[in-house]
Amino acid sequence: MARFNSVEGVFLDSPVRLSGVQIGRVAGLDYDSDSHRAVVSLEIHPGIELPADSIAIVTSEGMLGDRFIQLDPGGAIEMLADGDEVEFTQDSIMFEELLAKIILTVERQRAAAGGDGATQGSGQ
């Protein structure tokens, strides 16, 4: 199990990957009303051992690809046991939100510079 602030684009049966190889799937999605976080149940193939300080990251295949959970192993000697929680997580970064922020920043910079540049450069 892992808890995230946002799992936008992750669904039941979304892949769980380690080093680019699918080692499991998302077996459940729930909402914890106490912490206001998404709770993701991960089903990992038998025999896969992960250090207790591993990181679960919501990521995607390319900029607009399907989202999945990427596991990055830590360096702890102790291993996660069945039913343990992955404590370290990184939320989904929505490409659309990132693009909107970039556009807004550019528009603000353009406005602060005195417009869109259409009147500049006439030189006469």
- How many domains are there within the chain? 1
Please compute the mean of the pLDDT values over residues 50-60 and round it to a whole number: 94
32 close to 62: Cβ distance less than 8 angstroms: no
What pLDDT was estimated at residue 37?
Answer: 95
- Residue 50: inside a domain: yes
What pLDDT was estimated at residue 85?
Answer: 94
Tens digits of per-residue pLDDT, 58-114? 998 876 678 999 999 999 999 999 999 999 999 876 666 677 778 888 888 888 887
Q: Rounded distance, CA 70 to CA 112, Å?
A: 41
End-to-end CA distance of the chain: 67
pTM for this one? Answer: 0.74
Q: Rounded distance, CA 121 to CA 113, Å?
A: 14
Tens digits of per-residue pLDDT, 3-20? 999 998 899 999 999 999
Range of the domain at 12: 2-112
- Residue 121: inside a domain: no
- Residue 87: inside a domain: yes
What is the overall mean pLDDT for the chain? 87
